[in-house]
A and B are shown apart, each in its own frame.
Chain A
Amino acid sequence: MSLWATLNRNVFKRTSTFAVAVAGGTFFFERTFELISVSLFENINKGKLWKDIKDKYE
Protein backbone atom coordinates (compact mmCIF):
# COMPACT_ATOMS: atom_id res chain seq x y z
CA MET A 1 0.00 0.00 0.00
CA SER A 2 1.47 3.30 -1.02
CA LEU A 3 2.01 6.12 1.41
CA TRP A 4 -0.64 8.17 -0.29
CA ALA A 5 -3.26 5.47 0.09
CA THR A 6 -2.38 5.02 3.75
CA LEU A 7 -2.75 8.73 4.33
CA ASN A 8 -6.00 8.77 2.47
CA ARG A 9 -7.50 5.97 4.47
CA ASN A 10 -6.29 6.95 7.91
CA VAL A 11 -6.39 10.71 7.81
CA PHE A 12 -8.26 12.35 4.96
CA LYS A 13 -11.36 10.21 4.96
CA ARG A 14 -12.71 11.23 8.32
CA THR A 15 -13.58 14.90 8.76
CA SER A 16 -12.24 15.06 12.31
CA THR A 17 -8.79 13.74 11.42
CA PHE A 18 -8.81 15.74 8.19
CA ALA A 19 -9.42 18.96 10.13
CA VAL A 20 -6.58 18.11 12.51
CA ALA A 21 -4.34 17.43 9.51
CA VAL A 22 -5.24 20.78 8.00
CA ALA A 23 -4.51 22.65 11.24
CA GLY A 24 -1.22 20.81 11.81
CA GLY A 25 -0.19 21.18 8.19
CA THR A 26 -0.90 24.89 8.29
CA PHE A 27 1.26 25.31 11.36
CA PHE A 28 4.29 23.57 9.94
CA PHE A 29 3.86 25.07 6.49
CA GLU A 30 3.63 28.60 7.90
CA ARG A 31 6.70 28.17 10.10
CA THR A 32 8.91 26.84 7.30
CA PHE A 33 7.57 29.34 4.76
CA GLU A 34 8.24 32.23 7.15
CA LEU A 35 11.71 30.93 7.96
CA ILE A 36 12.66 30.58 4.30
CA SER A 37 11.26 34.00 3.32
CA VAL A 38 12.96 35.81 6.19
CA SER A 39 16.30 34.14 5.57
CA LEU A 40 16.06 35.07 1.89
CA PHE A 41 15.30 38.67 2.85
CA GLU A 42 18.14 38.83 5.35
CA ASN A 43 20.57 37.29 2.89
CA ILE A 44 19.70 39.75 0.13
CA ASN A 45 20.08 42.66 2.53
CA LYS A 46 23.05 41.46 4.51
CA GLY A 47 24.94 44.33 6.12
CA LYS A 48 22.13 46.84 5.74
CA LEU A 49 19.68 45.65 8.39
CA TRP A 50 19.71 46.90 11.93
CA LYS A 51 20.45 43.45 13.32
CA ASP A 52 23.63 43.34 11.22
CA ILE A 53 24.97 46.72 12.26
CA LYS A 54 23.79 47.22 15.81
CA ASP A 55 26.99 45.86 17.33
CA LYS A 56 28.89 48.74 15.77
CA TYR A 57 27.16 51.29 17.96
CA GLU A 58 27.39 49.69 21.39
Chain B
Amino acid sequence: MAAAVGRICGARLLKNYGIVAPQVCQLSTSAKGWTKNRKLWLSTLGVVGGGVGALLFALEQSVQASGTEAHPYHQPWSHDGWFKSFDHASVRRGYEVYKQVCKACHSLQYIAYRNLVDVTHTEEQAKAEAAEVMVKDGPDEEGNYFERPGKLSDYFPSPYPNENAARAANNGAYPPDLSLIVSGRKGGEDYIFALLTGYVEAPAGVVLREGQNYNPYFPGGAISMAQVLFDEAAEYTDGTPATASQMAKDVATFLRWCSEPELDDRRLMTIKAIGMFSMLAAVVYYYKRHKWSSLKSRKLAYKPVSKK
Protein backbone atom coordinates (compact mmCIF):
# COMPACT_ATOMS: atom_id res chain seq x y z
CA MET B 1 0.00 0.00 0.00
CA ALA B 2 2.69 2.43 1.04
CA ALA B 3 4.58 1.51 -2.08
CA ALA B 4 1.56 2.27 -4.28
CA VAL B 5 1.01 5.63 -2.64
CA GLY B 6 4.70 6.33 -3.02
CA ARG B 7 4.58 5.52 -6.73
CA ILE B 8 1.63 7.79 -7.34
CA CYS B 9 2.77 10.78 -5.37
CA GLY B 10 6.49 10.30 -5.59
CA ALA B 11 8.47 11.49 -2.64
CA ARG B 12 6.31 14.60 -2.54
CA LEU B 13 4.04 13.34 0.24
CA LEU B 14 6.85 12.49 2.57
CA LYS B 15 9.04 15.46 1.90
CA ASN B 16 9.20 18.16 4.52
CA TYR B 17 8.70 21.54 2.91
CA GLY B 18 8.98 23.54 6.09
CA ILE B 19 6.17 25.65 7.37
CA VAL B 20 5.74 28.30 4.69
CA ALA B 21 6.56 26.38 1.53
CA PRO B 22 3.06 24.85 1.01
CA GLN B 23 1.57 28.31 1.38
CA VAL B 24 4.07 29.95 -0.92
CA CYS B 25 3.55 27.21 -3.49
CA GLN B 26 -0.04 28.37 -3.96
CA LEU B 27 1.06 31.89 -4.67
CA SER B 28 3.77 31.17 -7.17
CA THR B 29 3.71 29.74 -10.65
CA SER B 30 7.21 28.37 -10.40
CA ALA B 31 6.37 25.49 -8.01
CA LYS B 32 4.99 22.48 -9.85
CA GLY B 33 1.79 20.79 -8.77
CA TRP B 34 0.83 17.19 -9.57
CA THR B 35 1.15 16.06 -13.16
CA LYS B 36 -1.88 15.12 -15.24
CA ASN B 37 -1.08 11.44 -14.91
CA ARG B 38 -0.87 11.62 -11.18
CA LYS B 39 -4.18 13.44 -10.95
CA LEU B 40 -5.79 10.80 -13.15
CA TRP B 41 -4.45 8.01 -10.98
CA LEU B 42 -5.62 9.63 -7.80
CA SER B 43 -9.11 10.39 -9.04
CA THR B 44 -9.50 6.83 -10.32
CA LEU B 45 -8.41 5.56 -6.93
CA GLY B 46 -10.90 7.86 -5.21
CA VAL B 47 -13.81 6.92 -7.45
CA VAL B 48 -13.13 3.18 -7.15
CA GLY B 49 -12.67 3.37 -3.38
CA GLY B 50 -15.86 5.37 -2.91
CA GLY B 51 -17.79 3.03 -5.21
CA VAL B 52 -16.69 -0.08 -3.34
CA GLY B 53 -17.62 1.55 -0.03
CA ALA B 54 -21.07 2.52 -1.30
CA LEU B 55 -21.62 -0.98 -2.69
CA LEU B 56 -20.72 -2.62 0.62
CA PHE B 57 -23.05 -0.25 2.46
CA ALA B 58 -25.90 -0.96 0.04
CA LEU B 59 -25.39 -4.71 0.34
CA GLU B 60 -25.41 -4.55 4.13
CA GLN B 61 -28.64 -2.53 4.07
CA SER B 62 -30.43 -4.86 1.70
CA VAL B 63 -29.52 -7.90 3.78
CA GLN B 64 -31.57 -6.48 6.64
CA ALA B 65 -34.70 -6.66 4.56
CA SER B 66 -34.29 -10.33 3.73
CA GLY B 67 -34.45 -13.02 6.42
CA THR B 68 -37.46 -14.12 8.39
CA GLU B 69 -36.98 -12.60 11.82
CA ALA B 70 -38.75 -9.44 12.91
CA HIS B 71 -36.58 -6.44 13.72
CA PRO B 72 -37.00 -5.07 17.21
CA TYR B 73 -38.59 -1.68 17.71
CA HIS B 74 -36.38 1.00 19.11
CA GLN B 75 -37.50 1.82 22.64
CA PRO B 76 -36.97 5.20 24.32
CA TRP B 77 -34.34 4.04 26.82
CA SER B 78 -33.59 6.59 29.48
CA HIS B 79 -29.85 6.03 28.94
CA ASP B 80 -30.10 6.76 25.21
CA GLY B 81 -28.32 9.96 24.30
CA TRP B 82 -24.93 11.53 24.56
CA PHE B 83 -25.21 12.68 28.16
CA LYS B 84 -27.80 10.30 29.60
CA SER B 85 -26.82 8.05 32.48
CA PHE B 86 -28.51 4.84 33.53
CA ASP B 87 -31.76 5.03 35.44
CA HIS B 88 -30.37 3.31 38.51
CA ALA B 89 -33.77 2.58 40.02
CA SER B 90 -34.53 0.63 36.86
CA VAL B 91 -31.20 -1.20 37.01
CA ARG B 92 -32.03 -2.21 40.57
CA ARG B 93 -35.46 -3.50 39.59
CA GLY B 94 -33.82 -5.34 36.70
CA TYR B 95 -31.51 -7.05 39.15
CA GLU B 96 -34.55 -8.18 41.10
CA VAL B 97 -36.08 -9.62 37.94
CA TYR B 98 -32.87 -11.44 37.09
CA LYS B 99 -32.65 -12.82 40.60
CA GLN B 100 -36.25 -13.99 40.73
CA VAL B 101 -36.70 -15.21 37.16
CA CYS B 102 -33.71 -15.50 34.84
CA LYS B 103 -31.27 -16.81 37.43
CA ALA B 104 -33.02 -20.18 37.39
CA CYS B 105 -31.48 -20.88 33.97
CA HIS B 106 -28.98 -18.16 33.05
CA SER B 107 -25.60 -17.52 34.63
CA LEU B 108 -24.17 -14.03 35.02
CA GLN B 109 -20.66 -15.05 35.69
CA TYR B 110 -18.76 -11.82 35.07
CA ILE B 111 -20.71 -9.76 37.59
CA ALA B 112 -19.67 -9.83 41.25
CA TYR B 113 -21.69 -8.66 44.22
CA ARG B 114 -19.18 -5.88 44.82
CA ASN B 115 -20.16 -4.44 41.42
CA LEU B 116 -23.62 -3.68 42.80
CA VAL B 117 -22.26 -1.39 45.51
CA ASP B 118 -23.19 2.24 44.84
CA VAL B 119 -24.82 1.27 41.57
CA THR B 120 -27.99 -0.46 42.69
CA HIS B 121 -27.37 -1.30 46.33
CA THR B 122 -25.67 0.14 49.38
CA GLU B 123 -22.72 -1.83 50.71
CA GLU B 124 -24.81 -3.42 53.47
CA GLN B 125 -27.55 -4.43 51.04
CA ALA B 126 -25.03 -5.90 48.60
CA LYS B 127 -23.46 -7.89 51.43
CA ALA B 128 -26.91 -9.18 52.36
CA GLU B 129 -27.56 -10.13 48.71
CA ALA B 130 -24.28 -12.02 48.62
CA ALA B 131 -24.96 -13.76 51.91
CA GLU B 132 -28.18 -15.21 50.48
CA VAL B 133 -26.30 -17.50 48.09
CA MET B 134 -23.99 -20.41 48.83
CA VAL B 135 -20.69 -20.54 46.97
CA LYS B 136 -18.24 -23.35 46.69
CA ASP B 137 -14.88 -22.64 48.27
CA GLY B 138 -11.81 -24.53 49.30
CA PRO B 139 -9.77 -26.50 49.73
CA ASP B 140 -9.65 -26.04 53.49
CA GLU B 141 -6.89 -27.32 55.78
CA GLU B 142 -7.97 -30.91 55.30
CA GLY B 143 -8.21 -30.48 51.54
CA ASN B 144 -11.99 -30.55 51.35
CA TYR B 145 -14.19 -28.25 49.32
CA PHE B 146 -17.02 -26.70 51.23
CA GLU B 147 -19.95 -24.35 50.81
CA ARG B 148 -20.10 -20.97 52.50
CA PRO B 149 -22.36 -17.93 52.28
CA GLY B 150 -21.28 -15.49 49.58
CA LYS B 151 -19.13 -12.43 50.17
CA LEU B 152 -18.93 -9.14 48.30
CA SER B 153 -15.96 -10.37 46.29
CA ASP B 154 -17.80 -13.43 44.95
CA TYR B 155 -19.13 -13.58 41.42
CA PHE B 156 -22.75 -14.51 40.80
CA PRO B 157 -23.13 -18.28 41.10
CA SER B 158 -24.25 -20.16 38.00
CA PRO B 159 -27.41 -22.25 38.05
CA TYR B 160 -25.69 -25.22 36.42
CA PRO B 161 -22.24 -26.67 37.12
CA ASN B 162 -21.34 -26.75 33.40
CA GLU B 163 -22.73 -26.36 29.90
CA ASN B 164 -23.73 -30.01 29.51
CA ALA B 165 -25.83 -29.92 32.66
CA ALA B 166 -27.48 -26.72 31.38
CA ARG B 167 -28.25 -28.34 28.03
CA ALA B 168 -29.59 -31.49 29.64
CA ALA B 169 -32.01 -29.44 31.72
CA ASN B 170 -33.23 -27.34 28.76
CA ASN B 171 -34.01 -29.78 25.96
CA GLY B 172 -30.50 -29.55 24.58
CA ALA B 173 -30.48 -25.75 24.28
CA TYR B 174 -27.87 -23.80 26.21
CA PRO B 175 -29.13 -20.73 28.05
CA PRO B 176 -26.29 -18.31 27.31
CA ASP B 177 -24.48 -16.35 29.97
CA LEU B 178 -26.16 -12.96 30.21
CA SER B 179 -23.17 -10.85 31.30
CA LEU B 180 -22.42 -9.60 27.81
CA ILE B 181 -25.61 -10.53 26.00
CA VAL B 182 -26.65 -6.94 25.25
CA SER B 183 -23.36 -6.26 23.50
CA GLY B 184 -23.46 -9.67 21.87
CA ARG B 185 -26.81 -9.39 20.12
CA LYS B 186 -27.78 -7.16 17.25
CA GLY B 187 -30.24 -4.59 18.51
CA GLY B 188 -28.92 -4.68 22.09
CA GLU B 189 -31.49 -3.95 24.75
CA ASP B 190 -34.18 -3.35 22.10
CA TYR B 191 -33.72 -6.99 21.09
CA ILE B 192 -33.88 -8.26 24.67
CA PHE B 193 -37.08 -6.29 25.28
CA ALA B 194 -38.66 -7.46 22.04
CA LEU B 195 -37.62 -11.07 22.69
CA LEU B 196 -39.02 -11.18 26.19
CA THR B 197 -42.35 -9.58 25.27
CA GLY B 198 -42.65 -10.96 21.73
CA TYR B 199 -43.90 -14.52 22.24
CA VAL B 200 -46.85 -15.39 20.02
CA GLU B 201 -48.66 -18.47 18.77
CA ALA B 202 -46.67 -20.17 16.02
CA PRO B 203 -48.18 -19.29 12.64
CA ALA B 204 -49.56 -22.09 10.53
CA GLY B 205 -46.89 -24.16 8.85
CA VAL B 206 -44.17 -23.57 11.44
CA VAL B 207 -43.20 -26.83 13.07
CA LEU B 208 -41.85 -26.60 16.60
CA ARG B 209 -39.95 -29.39 18.26
CA GLU B 210 -40.53 -30.52 21.81
CA GLY B 211 -39.85 -27.65 24.24
CA GLN B 212 -39.66 -25.00 21.56
CA ASN B 213 -41.68 -21.82 21.41
CA TYR B 214 -42.34 -19.34 18.67
CA ASN B 215 -40.82 -15.90 18.86
CA PRO B 216 -40.62 -13.79 15.70
CA TYR B 217 -37.68 -11.78 17.05
CA PHE B 218 -35.48 -14.84 17.55
CA PRO B 219 -33.56 -15.73 14.40
CA GLY B 220 -35.37 -18.73 12.94
CA GLY B 221 -38.38 -18.17 15.16
CA ALA B 222 -38.12 -21.37 17.21
CA ILE B 223 -36.61 -20.62 20.60
CA SER B 224 -36.05 -23.11 23.39
CA MET B 225 -36.78 -20.55 26.08
CA ALA B 226 -40.43 -20.39 27.01
CA GLN B 227 -42.07 -17.07 27.78
CA VAL B 228 -40.92 -16.27 31.30
CA LEU B 229 -42.28 -12.79 31.93
CA PHE B 230 -45.93 -12.61 32.85
CA ASP B 231 -47.55 -9.90 34.95
CA GLU B 232 -46.51 -10.41 38.57
CA ALA B 233 -43.84 -12.95 37.64
CA ALA B 234 -41.47 -11.08 39.94
CA GLU B 235 -41.90 -8.77 42.88
CA TYR B 236 -40.43 -5.28 43.14
CA THR B 237 -39.26 -3.95 46.48
CA ASP B 238 -39.98 -0.35 45.48
CA GLY B 239 -43.66 -0.97 44.83
CA THR B 240 -43.58 -0.53 41.04
CA PRO B 241 -46.37 -2.61 39.45
CA ALA B 242 -44.62 -5.67 38.02
CA THR B 243 -46.18 -5.87 34.59
CA ALA B 244 -44.50 -8.02 31.95
CA SER B 245 -43.33 -5.03 29.92
CA GLN B 246 -42.07 -3.19 32.99
CA MET B 247 -39.99 -6.21 33.94
CA ALA B 248 -38.71 -6.64 30.40
CA LYS B 249 -37.66 -3.00 30.33
CA ASP B 250 -35.95 -3.21 33.71
CA VAL B 251 -34.12 -6.45 33.04
CA ALA B 252 -32.97 -5.15 29.66
CA THR B 253 -31.62 -2.01 31.35
CA PHE B 254 -29.94 -4.18 33.97
CA LEU B 255 -28.35 -6.37 31.32
CA ARG B 256 -27.12 -3.31 29.49
CA TRP B 257 -25.46 -2.26 32.72
CA CYS B 258 -23.90 -5.72 33.00
CA SER B 259 -22.47 -5.40 29.50
CA GLU B 260 -21.40 -1.78 29.89
CA PRO B 261 -20.97 -0.92 33.54
CA GLU B 262 -18.81 2.03 32.49
CA LEU B 263 -21.62 3.73 30.55
CA ASP B 264 -22.15 6.47 33.14
CA ASP B 265 -18.44 7.27 33.14
CA ARG B 266 -18.43 7.44 29.38
CA ARG B 267 -21.34 9.89 29.37
CA LEU B 268 -19.47 12.09 31.84
CA MET B 269 -16.35 11.76 29.71
CA THR B 270 -18.33 12.95 26.68
CA ILE B 271 -19.20 16.15 28.50
CA LYS B 272 -15.57 16.63 29.50
CA ALA B 273 -14.26 15.90 26.03
CA ILE B 274 -16.64 18.39 24.45
CA GLY B 275 -15.59 21.03 26.95
CA MET B 276 -11.89 20.37 26.54
CA PHE B 277 -11.90 20.11 22.79
CA SER B 278 -13.93 23.27 22.31
CA MET B 279 -11.33 25.15 24.34
CA LEU B 280 -8.54 23.62 22.29
CA ALA B 281 -10.43 24.45 19.11
CA ALA B 282 -10.57 28.08 20.17
CA VAL B 283 -6.80 28.05 20.74
CA VAL B 284 -6.14 26.41 17.40
CA TYR B 285 -8.41 28.88 15.61
CA TYR B 286 -6.65 31.82 17.19
CA TYR B 287 -3.24 30.34 16.40
CA LYS B 288 -4.18 29.79 12.77
CA ARG B 289 -5.38 33.36 12.37
CA HIS B 290 -2.25 34.53 14.11
CA LYS B 291 0.05 32.65 11.76
CA TRP B 292 -1.84 33.62 8.64
CA SER B 293 -2.24 37.26 9.48
CA SER B 294 1.12 38.20 8.02
CA LEU B 295 0.61 36.08 4.91
CA LYS B 296 -2.84 37.41 4.17
CA SER B 297 -2.04 41.04 4.70
CA ARG B 298 1.20 41.19 2.76
CA LYS B 299 1.63 42.60 -0.67
CA LEU B 300 4.02 41.30 -3.32
CA ALA B 301 5.59 43.92 -5.54
CA TYR B 302 7.41 42.80 -8.69
CA LYS B 303 10.10 45.17 -9.85
CA PRO B 304 11.06 44.88 -13.49
CA VAL B 305 14.74 44.17 -13.95
CA SER B 306 16.30 47.12 -15.62
CA LYS B 307 17.64 46.44 -19.12
CA LYS B 308 20.79 48.40 -18.64
Contacts and interface: CB of A to CB of B under 8 A. Distances in A.
Contacts of A58: 122
A33 B88 contact: no
Interface string B255-279: 0000000001001100110011000
B274 to A, nearest CB: 9
Contact of B238 (A34, A40, A45, A56): A56
Contacts of A38: 268
A28 interface: no
Query: What interface size band does chain A fall in?
Result: 10 to 19
Contacts of A40: 83, 271
A21 interface: no
A33 B87 CA distance: 25
A57 B280 CA distance: 43
Interface string A20-52: 000000000000011011101100110011100
Contact of B87 (A36, A37, A48, A56): A48
B271 A37 contact: yes
A41 B86 contact: no
B122 to A, nearest CB: 6
A54 interface: yes
A13 B92 CA distance: 57
B224 interface: no
B88 A50 contact: yes
Nearest to A41: B268
Contacts of B119: 50
B125 A37 contact: no
B272 A33 contact: yes
A54 B126 CA distance: 13
Nearest to B238: A56
Most buried by B among A36, A41, A44: A41
Query: What interface size band does chain B fall in?
Result: 20 to 34
B78 interface: yes
A36 B275 CA distance: 10
Nearest to B85: A45
A53 interface: yes
Most buried by B among A36, A48, A54: A48
A57 B88 CA distance: 12
A53 B48 CA distance: 56
A49 B83 contact: no
Interface in B63-109: 78, 83-89, 92
B77 to A, nearest CB: 11
A49 B122 CA distance: 13
B213 interface: no
A37 B275 CA distance: 8
A57 B268 contact: no
B197 interface: no
Most buried by B among A36, A45, A53: A45
A41 B276 CA distance: 15
Given A37-B275, A54-B118, 8 more contacts: A33-B276, A36-B275, A37-B272, A38-B268, A40-B271, A45-B84, A49-B85, A49-B264
Interface of A: 33-34, 36-38, 40-41, 44-45, 48-50, 53-54, 56-58
